[in-house]
Amino acid sequence: MDVRFEDHPQFQRAAALAALGGGALSAVWPQPGLAQAAVMGGALLLAVAPPLGRQRIAAALLSWAAAVGSLLIARSGWLLLLSGALLGLLFALGRRASAKANGTAEPSRGKVALCAALGACAVALGSVALPPLATALAALLPGWLATGVSGAAFGLWAGFAATPLHVALGGDAVEARLVTLRPALTPEVRGLAERAAQARRGALEELPAGARGDLRGLLESLALAALETAGRTASLSRAAAPALEGEIKARFAHLKKSAEGAEDPAARSSYQRAAEALEGQLEHFGRVRRARERALARLHEDVANLERARFSLTLLRGADRVRGAAELDLLHDRLQHGALSLEAEEELLAPSAFARVE
């Protein structure tokens, strides 16, 4: 099973924010509440990081309330654990916002629950480990810097606890489909299918951060559509194999000749009916061959559109924000037009050509 780590930039950014916030507040906080300070500092920066969201602000406020409550109320260790769980929820909300912006799958509820549980475990560990760590560092560093470094270390621990949000199981849908199709494709069609997958892969790599999320989805859908067209082209090629068509033509000519030379009327009629049946098969071969030509042409068009999208995204490197946004909107409209025209052609062609192959 394929295991992928998704959205590295968001993971690194969230961990850095938690470390920076935890370190900053811990540096000015008394050592007995070091874990609480680290939680509150990290929660603050995670909540105010753009784009702002009400849910993240609410989770941060609740995390602060739980952390402060654990300091003020005796025997309230569960409040400290709750503050850590809410910190984990903040990581999950940030990951969800990033996934929505990039057009990728959002973390499941199970992953969110696991992240919250790991956040609670991280703060439990921090409440035990941070005071001794700060004391040890105080022998080498000023007191405020020792507590700040300890708080930053907790922020990194909490960031690592958010790892499940970025782990995805299962292979890439486009690559998996290509692997499935590859053995059945002819060399010409296989080359086009591999170019489509490669163009989509390159386009996704060139896609700038913060690009509209549905653009990624369009690239994915067009690549999958190209592979489906490749599979249909291969199926039509097998249904109208030149060798089989040549064999049927030879049989048809033989039956016509036999009918002309038959002296018995009944035998002549049988030869003629057999020839008519083969003639119908030859007409079918012609229809399937035309359908294959259309599918192959469509595959060339899909590959060209994907490669054009990749080159367009490459040219956007270094462009200013306004021009880049306009170019991305134009690319989105172009890809969407291609996707809509593909759907319209599918509705027209599927009942007529491919159904006969089945």
Kindly tell me if the per-residue pLDDT of 342 is higher than 90.
no
pLDDT higher than 80, residue 112: yes
The count of other CB atoms within 10 Å of the CB of residue 77 is 11
Check whether the bond before 51 is cis (ω within 30° of 0).
Answer: yes
Region 122-134: what's the mean pLDDT? Answer: 92
Evaluate if residue 232 carries a pLDDT over 80.
yes
State pLDDT tens for residues 175-206: 888 888 999 898 889 999 999 999 888 888 87
In this model, does residue 256 exceed pLDDT 90?
Answer: no
Half-sphere exposure of 346 toward its Cβ, with a 13 Å CA cutoff? 12
Report which secondary-structure segment, H or E, holds 10: helix 8-27
Q: Is 340 exposed, middle or buried (0-12, 13-18, 19+ CB in 10 A)?
A: exposed
Q: What is the mean pLDDT of residues 222-227?
A: 89
CA distance 272 to 108: 66
3-state helix, strand, coil in the chain (%, to 5): 85, 0, 15
Q: Are 311 and 298 in contact (CB under 8 A)?
A: no
Task: Supply the pLDDT for residue 352.
Answer: 46
Taking the C-alpha atoms of residue 137 and residue 145, their distance in angstroms, rounded to an integer, is 8
DSSP 75: T
Residues 126, 127, 131: CA angle, nearest 5 degrees: 90
For residue 347, the model assigns a pLDDT of 53
Kindly tell me the number of DSSP H helices and DSSP E strands found in the chain. Answer: 13, 2
In contact, 75 and 47? CB cutoff 8 Å? no
Distance (Å, rounded) from C-alpha 181 to C-alpha 184?
A: 6
Rounded Cα distance, 40 and 33, in Å: 11
- pLDDT tens track for 292-304: 889 999 999 889 8
State which of 48-52, 103-107, 150-154 shows the largest mean pLDDT: 150-154
319's enclosing H/E stretch is none
Spell out where 149-245 has E strands.
Answer: 167-169
What is the model's pLDDT at position 351? 45
pLDDT at residue 241 in the model: 74
Mean pLDDT of 336-353: 53
Neighbours of 228 (CB within 10 A): 18
pLDDT (0 to 100) of residue 358: 42
Query: Does 357 score more than 70 pLDDT?
Result: no
How confident is the model at residue 345, as a pLDDT? 55
Which helix (H) or strand (E) segment holds residue 3: the answer is: strand 3-5
* Of 347, 330, 37, the residue nearest 212 (C-alpha): 330
Q: What is the pLDDT of residue 142?
A: 92
pLDDT value of residue 58: 94
Residue 350 identity (one-letter amino acid): A
In this prediction, residue 275 has a pLDDT band, given cuts at 50, 70 and 90, of confident
Mean pLDDT of the chain: 84
Amino acid, res. 78 = W
pLDDT at residue 349 above 70? no
